[in-house]
A and B are shown apart, each in its own frame.
Chain A
Amino acid sequence: MIVKNPHRPHQPNALPLLNIAVVGHTNTGKTSLIRTMLRSTEFGVIEDAAGTTRHVEQATIAADNEPILNLYDTPGLEDSRALFAHIKKLQTKLKPLTPAQILEHFITHVSVNDPLEQEAKVIRQVLRSDILLYIIDVREPFLEKYRLELDILTQSAKPIIPVFNFIAEHNQELAKWRQHLAGYHMHATLEFDTVAFTFEAEKRLYQKIQTLVESHYTPLQKLIDFRAKLWNQLCLSGAKRVTELIVNVACYRETKSTQHNLIAHSLIEDRLHDFVRKAEQHCLNDLLSIFNFSDKDVAIQKIPVSNGHWQLDIFAPGILKAYGLDVGSAAAKGAAAGAGIDLMVGGMSLGAASALGAIAGAGWSTFKRYGDEIKATVKGTQWQCADEATVQILYLRQKHLLKKLMHRGHAAQDALHVDKADSEKLPDNWKKLTSTLRQNPAWQEPSVARNNNPQYQEIEAKLVGALLDEG
Chain B
Amino acid sequence: MSVNKYKFADLVRIEQLRKIESSKAEELSYASIKEMSGQPVSDFNYSDFMRRLVTRANLLIHDNALEDALQQPQKQSVRVNRICLGAAAILGGLAASQAVSESSTLNIYWLLAVLLGFNTISLLLWITGVTLNLQSLSTGIAAQLASWLPYRQKKDPTMASLASRAWWESCLTGDVGKWRVSVLTHKFWLTYLSAGMVLLILLMLAKQYNFIWGTTLLPDSSLPRLTQILGTPLEYLGLTIPNDPQTVASRVGVARQDAATRTAWATFLMGALLVYGVLPRILLLGLSMVMQRWSERRFRLDLYLPYYIELRQRLMAREVQAKVIDADPHAGIKPAEVVLPPENNAIPSNAQAFGIELDDATHWPETVTCRLNIIDQDTHDEAIALIKHLKTPLLLGVAAHRLPDRGVQRLIKDLVDHTSEKPWLILLSKPSAPVTNAREIAWFRLAEACGIPAEHVITQ
Taking Cβ atoms with an 8 Å cutoff, the residues of A that contact B are 1, 3-4, 6, 25-27, 38-40, 42-44, 48-51, 54-60, 62-65, 72, 75-76, 78-82, 112, 115, 117-118, 121, 124-125, 140-141, 143-145, 236-237, 240-241, 244, 282-283, 285-286, 289-290, 292, 356-357, 359-361, 364-365, 368-369, 441-442, 445-452
In angstroms, Cα B325 to Cα A75, docked, is 12
- The stretch from B277-285, B316-324, B341-349 touching chain A is B316-324
Is B151 on the interface with A (CB-CB < 8 A)? yes
State whether A240 and B304 are in contact (beta carbons under 8 Å apart), knowing that A144-B375, A442-B151 are contacts in the complex. yes
B436 CB contacts on chain A under 8 angstroms: 48
Main secondary structure of the interface of A (DSSP, over half): mixed
28 cross-chain CB contacts under 8 A? A1-B2, A26-B403, A26-B405, A27-B405, A50-B405, A56-B324, A58-B324, A58-B325, A59-B322, A65-B43, A75-B328, A78-B405, A78-B406, A82-B407, A82-B410, A143-B376, A286-B309, A289-B309, A356-B134, A357-B136, A359-B137, A360-B137, A447-B173, A448-B169, A448-B174, A449-B147, A449-B173, A449-B174
Whether A57 and B325, one on each chain, are in contact in the complex, defined by CB atoms closer than 8 angstroms, is yes
In the bound complex, CA of A63 to CA of B45 (Å): 11
A1 contact from B3, B309, B403, Cβ within 8 A:
B3
A241 CB to nearest chain B CB (Å): 6
Residues on A with C-beta less than 8 A from B322 are 43-44, 57-60
Asked whether any CB of chain A lies closer than 8 Å to the CB of B339, the reply is: no
| Residue of B with least CB distance to A450 | B150
- Interface positions, chain B 252-282, Cβ under 8 Å from A, are none
Q: With both chains docked as a complex, state the minimum distance between the C-beta of B441 and any C-beta of chain A, in angstroms.
A: 9
B404, A50: Cβ atoms under 8 Å?
yes
CB of B147, distance to nearest CB on chain A (Å):
4
Rounded to whole Å, the gap between the CB of A382 and the closest CB of chain B is 17
Distance in angstroms between the alpha carbons of A450 and B302 in the assembled complex: 12
Question: Using Cβ atoms and an 8 Å threshold, which residues of chain A touch B147?
Answer: 365, 449
Provide the bound-state CA to CA distance between A415 and B302, in Å. Answer: 36
Q: Considering the chains assembled together, what is the distance between the CA atoms of A278 and B133 in angstroms?
A: 39
Indicate if the CB atoms of B323 and A65 lie closer than 8 Å: no
Q: Which residue of B lies closest to A40 (CB)?
A: B320
> Do B144 and A289 have beta carbons less than 8 Å apart?
no
Q: Report the Cα distance A443→B333, complex, angstroms.
A: 59
Closest 10 CB pairs of A and B: A56-B326, A144-B376, A54-B328, A442-B151, A78-B406, A79-B407, A78-B405, A59-B322, A289-B313, A240-B304
Which residues on the B side are within 8 Å of A369 (C-beta)?
148, 151
What is the distance, in angstroms, from B19's C-beta to the closest C-beta of chain A?
9
Asked whether A361 lies within 8 Å of B144 as measured between CB atoms, the reply is: yes
Partner of B407, one of A38, A81, A289, A359: A81
User: Which residues of chain A are near B411, meaning CB under 8 Å?
Assistant: 81
A244 and B309 CA atoms in complex are apart in Å by: 12
Q: A38-B320, A55-B326, A357-B136 are in contact. Are A6 and B2 (CB under 8 A)?
A: no
**Contact yes or no, A241 B304, CB < 8 A:** yes
B330 interface residue, CB < 8 Å from A? Answer: yes
Scoring B residues 133 to 150 as 1 if CB is less than 8 Å from chain A, else 0, what string do you get? 011110011001011101
- Given contacts A6-B43, A118-B406, could you give 18 more A-B pairs where the C-beta distance is less than 8 Å? A3-B2, A4-B2, A38-B320, A50-B403, A54-B331, A56-B324, A59-B320, A59-B322, A78-B406, A82-B410, A124-B326, A140-B402, A144-B377, A237-B309, A365-B136, A447-B169, A448-B177, A450-B150
In the bound complex, do residue B310 and residue A448 qualify as a contact, i.e. CB atoms below 8 Å apart?
Answer: no
Determine if B357 is an interface residue (Cβ-Cβ < 8 Å). yes
Interface secondary structure of B, over-half rule: mixed
Q: In the complex, what distance in Å separates the CA atom of A56 from the CA atom of B404?
A: 22
Contacts of A292 in B (CB 8 A): 318
Write out, one digit per residue, whether chain B residues 147-170 have a CB within 8 A of any chain A CB (1) or not (0).
110111100000000000000011
Q: In whole angstroms, what is the CA distance A111 to B305 when docked?
A: 57
- Of the candidates A25, A63, A144, the one whose C-beta lies within 8 Å of that of B405 is A25
Contact A442 B150 (CB under 8 A): yes
Q: A65-B42, A359-B136 are in contact. Are A49 and B442 (CB under 8 A)?
A: yes
Taken together as a complex, chains A and B put the C-alpha atoms of A365 and B72 apart, in Å, by 26
Closest to A287 in B: B309
Given contacts A143-B375, A356-B136, A449-B150, contact A286 B141 (CB under 8 A): no
Residues from chain B with Cβ under 8 Å of A59 in the complex: 320-322
Say yes or no: is B439 at the interface (Cβ < 8 Å to chain A).
yes
CB distance from A295 to the nearest CB of B (A): 13
A125 to B326, CA, bound (A): 9
- The CA-CA distance from A39 to B319 in the complex, in Å, is 10
Most buried by B among A58, A75, A125: A58
Q: Is the CB of A244 within 8 A of B324?
A: no
With A359-B134, A359-B137 in contact, is A55–B405 under 8 Å at CB? Answer: no
Contact of B324 (CB < 8 Å), options: A55, A289, A442? A55
Taking a contact as CB atoms under 8 Å apart, the answer to whether A62 and B43 are in contact is yes
Judged by a CB distance under 8 angstroms, whether B359 is at the interface is yes
Q: Which residues from B are CB-within-8-Å of A118? A: 406
User: CB-nearest residue of chain B relative to A288?
Assistant: B313
Contact A286 B407 (CB under 8 A): no
B329 contacts A by Cβ under 8 Å:
yes
Question: Is B150 a contact of A57 with CB atoms below 8 Å?
Answer: no
Contacts A3-B2, A64-B43, A289-B313: A50 and B406 contacting too (C-beta < 8 A)?
Answer: yes
Tell me the residues in window 2-59 of chain B with beta carbons closer than 8 Å to chain A beta carbons.
Answer: 2-3, 22, 41-43, 45, 48
Contact with B357, one of A39, A143, A285, A361 (Cβ below 8 angstroms): A143
Known: A48-B439, A449-B150. A65 touches B45 (CB 8 A): yes
Nearest B-chain residue to A74, judged by Cβ? B326
Complex partner residue of A50 from B1, B152, B305, B442, CB under 8 angstroms? B442
A6-B42, A54-B331, A360-B136 known; A60+B403 contact, CB < 8 A: no
In the complex, which residues of chain B have a beta carbon less than 8 angstroms from the beta carbon of A80?
407
CA distance A368 to B170 in the complex (A): 21
Instruction: Look across to chain B and name the residue whose beta carbon is closest to the beta carbon of A117.
Output: B329
Nearest CB in chain B to that of A372: its residue: B151
Which of A57, A143, A241, A451 has a CB less than 8 Å from the CB of B306?
Answer: A241
- Please report the C-alpha to C-alpha distance between residue A176 and residue B436 in the assembled complex, in whole angstroms: 26
Q: Identify A76's interface contact among B146, B302, B305, B405, CB under 8 A.
A: B405
- Roughly how many angstroms separate A59 CA and B136 CA in the complex, as a whole number? 55
- Min Cβ gap A11→B in Å is 18
